[in-house]
A and B are shown apart, each in its own frame.
Chain A
Amino acid sequence: MINILDRIQKTAAYLILISLFVVILLTATDNLRYDLILSEGRLLFDAMITTLWISLVTLILSMVFGFIFFLAMRSQIVFLKTLSNGMKEIVMGTPLLVMIFLVVYVFGIKAGIHSKLSLGILAMTAYMAPYIANAYETASAVIDEDQYTVMDLYHFNLFQRYRYIILPQMIRPLIPSMLNNLSSIIKGSALLKIVSISEVSYVITVISNRSYASIEGYLVMWVMYLIITIPLSLLSAYLGRRFSHAN
């Protein structure tokens, strides 16, 4: 009985959300001309692919740098600990927009790097690394004090600790949180349009400026990001549930 009631409620809630969404898409302004945007299907598809691979590369790089960050944050060496925690505070307080400007127009010029794409990815990596480091920190909390006692007793070195004991246990809790981070990166990558990288938001902005359909452009952009981020979030929730049952 309760199950059926729950189901009805769920269905109703979903129906309301979907209708609201459709109403917004259909009534945003008078004379909606989605065709002006959607006619550039090929460009949109390529842009989506670009967004996805830029985001994946950023995720992988920030997982690497985030790990170094994480090691520094929990280091016994006070200097490293203080340095990394200080950097974390600064980066976490910096808007992504500012980070992109800093990396592309300050660091890039000083370092003589001209590839906007590389600099854009670098900026997002720098922005994400501390968040990923925090995710590692949370994931590593599954390893209790007793396990460290045993590792100390048997004199595991740093490599052995991470390779055999700590990392294998961090993977499960990390997977859902990495999917969520990927989602944040994908949304964040929309800001790369300010440095003219041909990802979704830049390409749509160009198309809609050309055809004087900027509202339609933003609505299509909205839908395109949701098409990627909602499945990711569902997958993350599903894996999170599965792993917590398995334990």
Chain B
Amino acid sequence: MRIEVKGLTKSYDGKSVLNALDLVLGDVKVIGIIGGSGCGKSTLLRQLTGIETPESGSVKINGIELNSENLKAYQKRIGVVFQKHNLFPHLTVEENITLILRKTIGMSRSEAEVRCSQVLTEFQLSDQRNKIPSKISGGQAQRASIARAVATEPDLIFLDEPTAALDPILTKEVLNSIQLLKSDGAEFIFVTHEMDFLRKFADYFIFMDEGSIIEHGVIEKLETPDTKRLKIFVRR
């Protein structure tokens, strides 16, 4: 993917959360965004997905500027996984996926069912397909939400701390699903505050602190940070 962020600024209630971020990246497959709690990682991710609009500045991804004109087409080509699974609670796992396929991508019911079966098999959820989210484990629900994001065959997937709400055992299932994305060659951007998670999946890291990008680089660079703040963060 190619990312061009220019002067990206966002504040909530007058408090600046992203301070005029600039970032140009070409040709990376998996990006991990790290940083302490409240430093603006989720806010940056929401900007990159177009879920929220910037106060000023611009975001261009794979050459597409995220503005009101392009947003719909862009968002059709991405998948987003949130910290909570965000499945629709009244729909079964299968319906959660087929609804999106039919209404967003415009697949027929039978096409959607075929595609849904594929992803459910891939994420080992076939036997949970007819259950609603409250009847499956948190790990299964999070995997289902990854399956939903992947089902539309997006060019790019965003994941915001997909394991933060889970215990270690359930986390492992979800990490396996993310491993699956990686081996499929999917391009994705994820937020985490765990270094293991980052090292395992990312080719490239972005380190944030207090609403600014302090350092970014290929993953090997983590061993020899330029900045003191990253040095401290890595050593924790």
Contact = CB atoms under 8 A, between A and B. Distances in A.
Interface residues of A, number: 15
Nearest to B71: A155
Interface string B127-143: 00000001000000000
A6 interface: no
Interface in A15-33: none
B88 A160 contact: no
Contacts of A146: 82, 84, 86
Contacts of B229: none
B229 to A, nearest CB: 31
Interface in B181-220: none
Given A146-B84, A164-B99, A152 B90 contact: no
Contacts of A168: 90
Chain A contact residues, majority secondary structure: helix
B106 to A, nearest CB: 12
B104 A154 contact: yes
Given A154-B75, A155-B72, A149 B103 contact: no
A247 B99 CA distance: 22
Contacts of A165: 88, 90
A165 B103 CA distance: 12
Nearest to B83: A146
A153 B82 CA distance: 12
Interface string B27-56: 000000000000000000000010100000
- What class of interface size applies to chain B in its complex with A? 10 to 19
Nearest to A142: B89
Contact of B104 (A147, A155, A169): A155
Given A154-B104, A155-B104, A147 B72 contact: no
B41 to A, nearest CB: 17
A160 B51 contact: no
Interface in B97-111: 99-100, 103-104
B80 interface: yes
A150 B103 contact: no
Given A169-B89, A169-B90, A154 B100 contact: yes
A146 B51 CA distance: 11
A14 interface: no
A153 B51 contact: yes
Interface string A151-173: 01111100010001100110000
Given A147-B86, A168-B90, A169-B90, A153 B103 contact: no
A149 B75 contact: no
Contact of A154 (B82, B84, B90, B103): B103
Nearest to A157: B103
A146 to B, nearest CB: 5
Contacts of B100: 154
Contacts of B80: 153
Contacts of B104: 154-155
A150 B84 CA distance: 12
B88 A150 contact: yes
B75 A153 contact: yes
A160 B99 CA distance: 10
Interface in A114-156: 146-147, 149-150, 152-156
Contacts of B49: 153
A152 B51 contact: yes
B32 to A, nearest CB: 22
